[in-house]
């Protein structure tokens, strides 16, 4: 009898004045909101894009937190009036994520759900090699340029994975040259002193079917003083301007007839104190092979340089005698810091702009070097 009384006590009046038990009270307090997390907890080999989603029925989401094992958060947004949450970017490969989601029903009662899953480990990967270097100071014409080790067939996903912020703020847009190079620049030359930060988040982005990026790093660079140099191929002069003011005019020689220098805006992409120039490497046969060209600065990928010239005689400022390069008077060995070539080399940054005018040649192709400034903004963003 004692045992029966003890077991049946929950249904007696002792449980409450109305005879209803505490389990019913708890049932009233339970939220009607039902949270669903995809993928299921414990899943492995999860796709880095399109697989993660949080939904709720009979309620609205109020909080969704997704973190990797190191505590780094995944950004995302709640949509549909609180009905679902999706990440704003792809996930990293071979990474374990933890999801915590909270929802409320129509009476404000909360419901929570947690999940843990691991993304796929790719068999095939790609990298992006970039310029300028992290921490560098560059000229006003320098784009942020990325070359990929595999041809990209999903350009929107890759472009979305590269986020550029600037101080002061300026709109920066990307442009593809083929399927393996992506350059970013503003509409006009960078403003002097601009701080540029690039979040290069390629880890886990599917650049082509079954091929995933495998790097995530932050790159910062600063825009230096505003230097633009204007070469007049007809007058054989170069005017170097800083902040729009001419600071020096130098005599030059440009491409002779049949080897005319490109017209247009070109960006210094490389500086070499001394280099070898062999005509065979640019398709000119055995016309020259100079092993010690001083103070050389590359302007195009096809081999146009502004460089020191110690063999040009009286050509500088008088006539055009080069095979397409911009030559400035120099000495063999480049030891004399007072020569025009040495002065220009010492006062130039990678990313400075050199504009050539009045040459008997067409405008340089925008993809030939970092010379996208020869495209209109409409074409660049198209």
How distant is the alpha carbon of residue 18 from its chain centre? 68
Q: How many CB atoms lie within 10 A of CB 278?
A: 14
- β-strand partners of 100: 65, 114
* CA dist list (Å): 25 to 10, 19, 59, 241, 350: 13, 12, 21, 81, 73
At residue 65, the 3 state secondary structure works out as strand
Burial class (CB in 10 A: 0-12, 13-18, 19+), 85: buried
Structure tokens at 176: 């593809």
Q: Read off the DSSP letter of residue 322.
A: B
In 254-348, which ranges are E strands?
Answer: 264-267, 270-278, 289-298, 305-309, 326-329
User: Which residues are catalytically annotated?
Assistant: 307, 325
Count of positions (residues) in the chain: 382
In 71-215, which ranges are E strands?
Answer: 76-79, 84-87, 96-104, 110-118, 124-126, 128-131, 136-138, 144-148, 162-167, 173-176, 181-185, 195-201, 206-208, 211-213
């Amino acid at each position: 009898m004692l045992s029966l009384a003890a077991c049946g006590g929950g249904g007696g009046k002792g449980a409450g004045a109305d005879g209803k038990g505490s389990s019913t009270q708890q049932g009233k307090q339970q939220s009607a909101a039902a949270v669903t997390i995809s993928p299921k907890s414990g899943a492995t080999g999860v796709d880095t894009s399109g697989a993660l989603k949080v939904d709720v029925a009979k309620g609205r989401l109020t909080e969704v937190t997704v973190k990797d094992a190191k505590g780094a958060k995944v950004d995302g947004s709640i949509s549909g009036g609180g009905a679902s949450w999706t990440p704003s970017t792809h996930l990293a490969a071979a990474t374990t994520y933890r999801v915590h989601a909270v929802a409320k029903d129509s009476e404000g009662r909360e419901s929570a759900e947690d999940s843990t899953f691991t993304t796929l480990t790719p068999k095939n990967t790609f990298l992006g090699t970039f310029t300028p270097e992290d921490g560098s100071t560059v000229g006003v014409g320098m784009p942020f340029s990325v070359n990929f080790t595999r041809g990209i067939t999903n350009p929107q996903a890759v472009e979305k994975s590269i986020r550029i912020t600037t101080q002061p703020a300026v709109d920066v847009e990307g442009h593809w040259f083929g399927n393996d190079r992506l350059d970013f620049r503003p509409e006009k030359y960078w403003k002097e002193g601009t701080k540029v930060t690039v979040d290069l988040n390629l880890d886990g982005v599917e650049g082509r079917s079954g091929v995933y990026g495998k790097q995530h790093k932050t790159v910062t660079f600063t825009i230096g003083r505003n230097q633009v140099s204007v070469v007049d191929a007809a007058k054989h002069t170069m005017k170097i301007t800083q902040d729009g003011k001419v600071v020096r005019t130098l005599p030059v020689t440009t491409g002779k007839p049949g080897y005319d220098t490109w017209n247009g805006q070109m960006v210094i992409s490389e500086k070499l104190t001394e280099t070898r120039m062999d005509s065979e490497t640019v398709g000119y046969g055995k016309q020259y092979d100079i092993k010690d060209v001083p103070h050389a600065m590359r302007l195009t990928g096809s081999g146009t340089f502004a460089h020191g010239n110690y063999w040009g005689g009286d050509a500088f400022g008088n006539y055009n005698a080069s095979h397409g390069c911009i030559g400035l008077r120099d000495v063999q060995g480049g030891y004399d810091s007072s020569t025009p070539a040495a002065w220009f080399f010492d006062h130039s940054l990678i990313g400075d702009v050199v504009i050539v005018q009045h040459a008997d040649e067409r405008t340089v192709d925008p993809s030939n070097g970092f010379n996208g400034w020869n495209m209109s903004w409409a074409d660049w963003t198209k």
